[in-house]
């Protein structure tokens, strides 16, 4: 039970830290519009920005990255604490059931009130609504792939195993850059591996 108390305090700390970060740092959108002048979908090259504006954008990017992580961790961890307490209080009760039928057919059952799946699914409409438009703007903006010239600020140490470009963490997930991932998913292929369902 000591572990659950510690985990509950951790969940509270996630929520409190997110609130403090939100109150004391700027968001990427604010910096883009007010410091860089990139409002209304206007693209601005890095060279056209002041060093101070680029530094503010980098700081806001770091803050947003951690804020997004904390905003996800807080509610999920609170919900996990609830269910772990239920399991500790009644270890003979079967709350969760999962199985794998072989050929990629997995199934799982969760109790009513287990909110983690719903929390994750809550982001799906936003991703479905804005993801294609975001990719379209980026594809129209970045004609050569991987990017060169004024868009080299996208460059980093994460290598896309499909196009072999090197990008920052923002642009690569599970070994696929955003563009290759989008193209593969659109064609019905999984960018993560050949055995996973799209």
- Residue spans of the domains in the chain: they are 1-115, 123-198
Return the pLDDT at 173.
84
pLDDT score of 27: 92
Task: Supply 71's token pair.
Answer: 């905003």
* Per-residue pLDDT at 149: 56
| DSSP string over 125-180 | HHHHHHHHHHHHHHHHH--SSS--GGGGGGEEEEEPTTT--EE-GGGEETTEEHHH
- CA–CA distances in Å: residue 27 to residues 33, 48, 51: 10, 20, 18
Q: How buried is residue 141: exposed, middle or buried, by Cβ count under 10 Å (0-12/13-18/19+)? A: exposed
For position 126, what pLDDT does the model report? 86
| pLDDT of 86 | 93
Q: List the chain residues with pLDDT less than 70.
A: 1, 41, 101-106, 142-155, 194-198
**Distance between CA 135 and CA 181 in Å, rounded?**
10
In the three-class reduction of DSSP (H, G, I as helix; E, B as strand; rest coil), residue 96 is classed as coil
Quickly tell me which residue has 């659950």 as its tokens: 4
């Amino acid at each position: 039970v000591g572990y659950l108390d510690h985990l509950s305090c951790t969940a509270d700390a996630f929520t409190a830290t997110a609130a403090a970060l939100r109150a004391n740092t700027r968001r990427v959108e604010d910096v883009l519009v007010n410091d860089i002048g990139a409002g209304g979908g206007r693209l601005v090259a890095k060279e056209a920005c002041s060093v101070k504006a680029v530094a503010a954008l980098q700081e806001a990017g770091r803050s947003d990255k951690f804020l997004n992580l904390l905003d996800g961790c807080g509610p999920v961890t609170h919900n996990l604490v609830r269910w772990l307490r239920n399991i500790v209080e009644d270890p003979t009760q079967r709350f969760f059931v999962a199985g794998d039928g072989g050929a990629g057919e997995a199934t799982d059952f969760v109790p009513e009130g287990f909110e983690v799946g719903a929390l994750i699914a809550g982001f799906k409409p936003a991703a479905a609504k804005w993801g294609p438009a975001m990719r379209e703007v980026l594809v129209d903006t970045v004609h050569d792939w991987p990017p060169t010239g004024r868009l080299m600020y996208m460059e980093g140490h994460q290598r896309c195993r499909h196009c072999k470009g090197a990008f920052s963490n923002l642009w690569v997930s599970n070994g696929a850059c955003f563009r290759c991932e989008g193209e593969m998913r659109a064609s019905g292929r999984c960018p993560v591996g050949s055995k996973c369902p799209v």
